[in-house]
């Protein structure tokens, strides 16, 4: 792929197992998760899109980000954030090229995230991150042209139920960081136990 990718940070989760907090506002290493992920993405197209779920006013965004709320009549979860970004870009006339997606609760996102996905993509329509046996569908690289049928108005194709199902349908490529990372760079945050473990990891 050539040119800087567009990017969407998927941040619409309700954080139910954390008491209903917005994950993007949680701090790891004295930095909000949203800013940590944004910094690790490296050079991407501006603005960085943020999939916010149905209530975008609940998370304060940096000036180089733009909120894209979930679309009506689409599955919830991370897939909704991806489709909202694809629809927004299509309305701007952007229907081809790379789109990188990443979950906001990935505080140790590797600096080579985009570059390694691009090198592993080959001719495939999408590639997703893995670390050994664990895989992370929201942390992925997509060809926008492969996703247009899912958001094209009256001609839209009903999307699969999840990002995992979509990647399986597309024949997405698995890109494994295990050979180059001793600790899981995609460890995410769903519970208070996770929060403590990630905070301890950030504190060294």
Q: Which range (37-51, 86-100, 146-160, 163-177) has the least confidence?
A: 146-160
d(CA 26, CA 21): 8
The residue assigned the tokens 């490296």 is 42
pLDDT score, position 15: 56
Whole-angstrom Cα distance, residue 138 to residue 128?
Answer: 8
Residues 6+ apart with CB under 8 A from 35: 62
Pairing of strands 48-51, 6-10: parallel
For residue range 12-60, list pLDDT tens digits in order: 765 555 656 778 888 998 899 999 999 999 899 999 999 887 655 567 8
pLDDT-derived band at 2, boundaries 50, 70, 90? low
Closest CA to 7 of 50, 70, 59, 63: 50
Q: What average pLDDT does range 118-144 have in this prediction?
A: 95
For 37, the 3-state DSSP assignment is helix
φ, ψ at 93 (rounded to 5°)? 85, 15
11-15, 20-24, 132-136, 167-171: range with lowest mean pLDDT: 11-15
Tell me the whole-structure pTM to 2 decimals: 0.90
- pLDDT, one tens digit per residue, over 70-104 is 876 666 788 989 999 999 999 999 999 999 999 99
Domains, the chain, with CATH or none: 6-202 (3.90.550.10)
């Amino acid at each position: 792929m050539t040119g800087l990718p567009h990017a969407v940070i998927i941040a619409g989760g309700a954080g139910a197992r954390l008491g209903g907090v917005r994950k993007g506002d949680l701090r790891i290493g004295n930095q909000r998760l949203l800013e940590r992920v944004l910094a690790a993405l490296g050079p991407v197209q501006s603005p960085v899109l943020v999939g916010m779920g149905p209530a975008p006013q609940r998370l304060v965004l940096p000036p180089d980000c733009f909120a894209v709320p979930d679309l009506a009549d689409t599955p919830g979860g991370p897939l909704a954030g991806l489709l909202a970004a694809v629809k927004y870009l299509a309305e701007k006339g952007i229907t081809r090229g790379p789109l990188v997606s990443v979950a906001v609760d990935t505080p140790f996102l590797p600096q080579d995230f985009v570059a390694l996905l691009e090198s592993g993509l080959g001719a495939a329509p999408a590639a997703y991150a893995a670390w050994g046996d664990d895989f992370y569908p929201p942390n992925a690289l997509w060809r926008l042209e492969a996703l247009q049928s899912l958001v094209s108005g009256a001609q839209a194709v009903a999307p699969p139920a999840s990002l995992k199902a979509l990647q399986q349908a597309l024949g997405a490529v698995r890109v494994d960081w295990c050979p180059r990372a001793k600790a899981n760079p995609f460890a995410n945050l769903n519970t208070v136990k996770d929060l403590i473990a990630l905070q301890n990891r950030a504190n060294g």
